Chain A
Amino acid sequence: MLFSQKLVISLTLWTSVVLALVGSHSTELFVIMILIGILIARELSSVYIRPSIAYKMDVFIQVGIIAFIAIVMRRILDILEII
């Protein structure tokens, strides 16, 4: 089995576990947990993956970080009762 296949299967399993635990309760928590999964997978697989795959994973991470910043900003505004 190719390493990229193992990587996708691992992240699919992680997503399934997070989905089973979080359910439909909190989209924010779900997105953050997925981001954590990608970060862990990226770090652990850095030695084994090709630069092209590493670049694609970095794109996922960048999108996840933007989503994370949006979530944090929303929370801050919510606490400050601006929105």
Chain B
Amino acid sequence: MAKHKLLRPEYSSKIIAVIFISISVYLFLFTDHINPALASAFIGILTLLIVNFPTVEEDVSIASLKSGVLPYHEILDDLEVASMGIHIPPKGDLTGSRAYIPASESIEVPEISDEMTIVSLGRGKVGIAVTPPGYPLLEEAKERIDYDLEDKGLESGRECMGHLSEGMGLARSFSLRRKDGKVKLRITHGRYQDYCASLREVSTNICTRTGCPICSAFLTGASESLSSRLKVVDFEVEGRHIKFDLEVI
């Protein structure tokens, strides 16, 4: 159900700000309480200036995220490519990250360059290399915090991905660590849990091939920070928690 106009943050924040500023003016003019007046003015101005609001409605942004990724995965389903994707960081001739989906599970991964989308290099090196659906989200996060991820290690990866979860609100939390020779990525969904679940219903392999835009942004971030090709070897959903086990190849 849509929120009443006055309950939306852009309006409620202004109402709260006006109330605090009015209290502040009253305290300044009619009482000797300077500190409460300053506090009230500070809170009022802070609320007025700092509380921002999304310029696109949440429902609209979710719909556009879906419309971008569904046709993409319908094509992959029709091509009957493998179900496990490989996340490739920029290196050599490749200037931006790619998600590579081999034609079958056993096929080896070729060197990918920017021009390659449908990869057919013979000797079993056949597959599809696409820009990950979450790549623009990760680029936006990197731009906002003025950060370069490539080959900076897990700690830097976590810092940048922290902006994806806390700063952009794409997930409630996440963890990225190495364990038993594998890279383990755990994402706890927040408000986009239903979006993620609805995509899985439509396309069952969406998570393991490239991931939805949200998971894909985290997967691409992990691959870039380690500067390694990461193959999805195991995937599990437990309520709000999405668990990826990734193998460095």
Q: Residues on A close to B: CB < 8 A?
A: 2-5, 7-8, 11-12, 15-16, 18-19, 22-24, 27, 30-31, 34, 46-53, 56-57, 60
- Chain B residues with CB under 8 Å of chain A are 9, 13, 32-36, 38-39, 42-43, 46-47, 49-54, 144-145, 159, 162-163, 166-167, 169
A47-B167, A48-B162, A50-B144 known; A24+B51 contact, CB < 8 A: no
Contacts of B167 in A (CB 8 A): 3, 47-50
Q: Is the CB of A56 within 8 A of B50?
A: yes
Q: Looking across the interface, which residue of chain B has its beta carbon closest to that of A26?
A: B35
Q: Which of A7, A12, A22, A52 contacts B35 (CB 8 A)?
A: A22
Task: Give Cα A57–Cα B144 distance, bound, in whole angstroms.
Answer: 16
B52-A19 in contact (CB<8A): no
Partner of B53, one of A2, A15, A16, A56: A2
Please give the distance in Å from A68's CB to the nearest CB on chain B: 14
Give the dominant DSSP class at A's interface. helix
Whether the pair A24, B166 counts as a contact (CB closer than 8 A) is no
- Known contacts A7-B50, A11-B46, A57-B50; A30 and B163 CB within 8 A of each other: no
Q: Report which of A19, A46, A50 forms a contact with B39, defined as CB distance below 8 A.
A: A19
List the 9 closest pairs (A to B, CB-CB), nearest first.
A48-B167, A48-B166, A30-B35, A19-B39, A4-B52, A15-B39, A56-B49, A4-B51, A12-B43
Q: Which A residues lie within 8 Å of B9 (CB)? A: 2, 5
Instruction: Select the residue from A15, A18, A52 with max chain B CB neighbours within 10 A.
Output: A15
User: Given A2-B51, A48-B163, do A24 and B42 touch, yes or no (CB 8 Å)?
Assistant: no
**What is the predominant secondary structure among interface residues of chain B facing chain A?**
helix
CA A18 to CA B39, docked complex, whole Å: 9
Task: Indicate whether A8 sits within 8 Å of B51 (C-beta atoms), given known contacts A2-B169, A48-B166, A60-B46.
Answer: yes
Give Cα A24–Cα B179 distance, bound, in whole angstroms: 55
B20 to chain A, nearest CB (A): 9
28 contacts between A and B (CB under 8 A): A2-B54, A2-B169, A4-B51, A5-B51, A8-B43, A8-B47, A8-B50, A11-B43, A12-B43, A19-B35, A22-B35, A23-B35, A24-B35, A30-B39, A31-B38, A34-B38, A47-B145, A47-B159, A47-B163, A48-B162, A48-B166, A48-B167, A49-B167, A50-B167, A51-B144, A53-B50, A57-B50, A60-B46
Query: Are A3 and B43 touching (Cβ within 8 A)?
Result: no
Complex alpha-carbon distance, A19 and B54, angstroms: 32
Query: Which A residues are in CB contact (< 8 Å) with B145?
Result: 46-47
* A8 close to B46 (CB less than 8 A): yes
